[in-house]
Structure 1
């Protein structure tokens, strides 16, 4: 993209049903990529915020009034006809019945069973982020003991937990590898995903679902670790998030948001600090982390997070 090329800002809404299905609409005749399916939205007008544009566009195009929308992520994409900066919102509340005011078609979709195509290129990567859970658990064998924590992991799986980051820095390499094998074996029985912490090579060897990199480790990579389905990273500031973007992570954790016993000498960023960080427009979902509970998911999303990551609170 040349430095003089104009970027078109677009607000995009991902309408989500309580069961997780999301809405796609077809692009009408007369527009570029006519017939392709996309998340609905439209260009920002002069002086509009992205949220204002979203509400206006969804009312004009679909006849609905948005009542609840939270900022999610920002993607830039270059088409032959334009470079667009897409401001995505998750829309979980609206009033009115869907109307095809521009002659478009609508289809409610489930992430792993899309039944419409082709998908507009800029919207394809967004499907990946929609697979992530609202709460992402970190293991706590350090606090509970290995065997008691494994019992809680088994119980959590039986109660529907689907994602885990195995973070146990106190263990030796051999002990961590042994625990990882047990954790992954249990997860496979419940179709759950396990990301190892720090150890990308071990994650590949054990066929884990991915790796989560602390900021100091992510800084050592020049590209995304190969051979892994999912890659996440931790970050505490814009520079660390920019490095996560460079190596192509699928999500990042940012914090700490509230005071925690693990960082007693570091001041928390609070929700204001987190919101300021999220508002810089990262192309991947952000999780808030640090002293949070399940009841904090809603406030996290209002401040631009995909959800929360938690350690001790996940195993109570």
Structure 2
């Protein structure tokens, strides 16, 4: 049966502490009692961003002053084929005055979500648990001890996502180093993914695996980890990552880097163009540090990943 395609704009209202707003659908609606992100149908002649601003004014009595395009996902419900345009709503005017939901609730990304949730929202909730900054280890250059000291400093400063990328270390040293990174990061409540080495990731009980682009393009199904991401350099690689239902991608280089002098960079406009309409979060990579976070997120990035910019 062919279902009508319906475009819907949804807003992830964010507080500075990272908590987001959910609304419980009213008793006289489809999926009554289910929790959702506020928003609504895109009307003829509207762009999704315009529709969201209108809906948030009508539903919650707020006027959006800053929003960012984020993810786009599709879901087949019994009644419709829905294409959801998700935006991060970063700033608004007015106090919340809900007119359509049975309840509203602010939810911490790390806490249990509200149940039942609309089926299309599960991947969005997981994406909101993905930290905004990834540190990529560089022990072969810094030295193992110096890297672990830099890791401790970054974890103390709030880093919660680490990629172990140490192909230059021999197998034994890489195993010992990865286990130490995992122990220190887990102690702070963070996540660790291992670059390329699925067997090592399994052996140490890492949270996931990070796929180099060549490994990504050779796969036809997602590896069996809680978190799986990939390095990408073009739209074809990003779309393959999406087809495998990966949880995130890295895309770069956005700016010039010391490690690859003279290499062509995307720039922020290039990054934004390549990531339009993707269903999973993309972190920007290449010559970046947390100082450019707002610029990155305005260009559609979920956050940033880095080596020198994270460890100093």
Q: Which SS does the other structure have where 2:218 is aligned?
A: coil
Whether 1:56 aligns to 2:44 is no
The 3-state SS of whatever aligns with 1:219 is helix
CA distance in 1, matches of 2:261, 2:309: 18
**Alignment of structure 1 residues 195-214 onto 2, 5 Å:** 195-214=193-212
Shift of 1:101: 1.6
Question: Taking structure 2 as the reference length, what is the TM-score of the superposition?
Answer: 0.95
Q: Deviations over 1:134-166 (max 9, x none)?
A: 211111213311111111112222333211001
Q: Which runs of 5+ in 1 are unaligned?
A: none
CA contact (8 A) 1:278 1:303 kept: no
Deviation at 1:266, TM superposition (A): 2.6
* Number of equivalenced pairs: 312
Q: In the TM superposition, what is the alpha-carbon distance from 1:103 to its structure 2 partner?
A: 4.8
Q: Deviations over 1:5-59 (max 9, x none)?
A: 4321111001111122111011123321011110000111122221111111100
1:87-120, CA deviations, whole angstroms, 9 ceiling, x for partnerless residues? 1111121111111222532111123333632111
Instruction: Give me the whole-angstrom Cα distance separating, in 2, the residues matched to 1:56 and 1:215.
Output: 40
Distance of 2:22 and 2:190 partners within structure 1: 27
Quote the residue 1:233 is aligned against.
Answer: 230
Query: 3-state SS of the aligned residue for 2:284?
Result: strand
- In 1, Cα distance between equivalents of 2:108 and 2:7: 27
2:271 — aligned with what? 274
Partner of 2:40: 42
Partner of 1:286: 282
Alignment of 1:22-171 (within 5 A): 22-114=20-112, 116-171=114-169
Is the Cα–Cα contact under 8 Å of residues 10 and 50 in structure 1 kept in the other structure? yes
1:240-290 CA deviation, whole Å, 9 max, x = no partner? 0111112221000111111113333431011111110111x1110011111
- RMSD across aligned positions (CA): 1.5
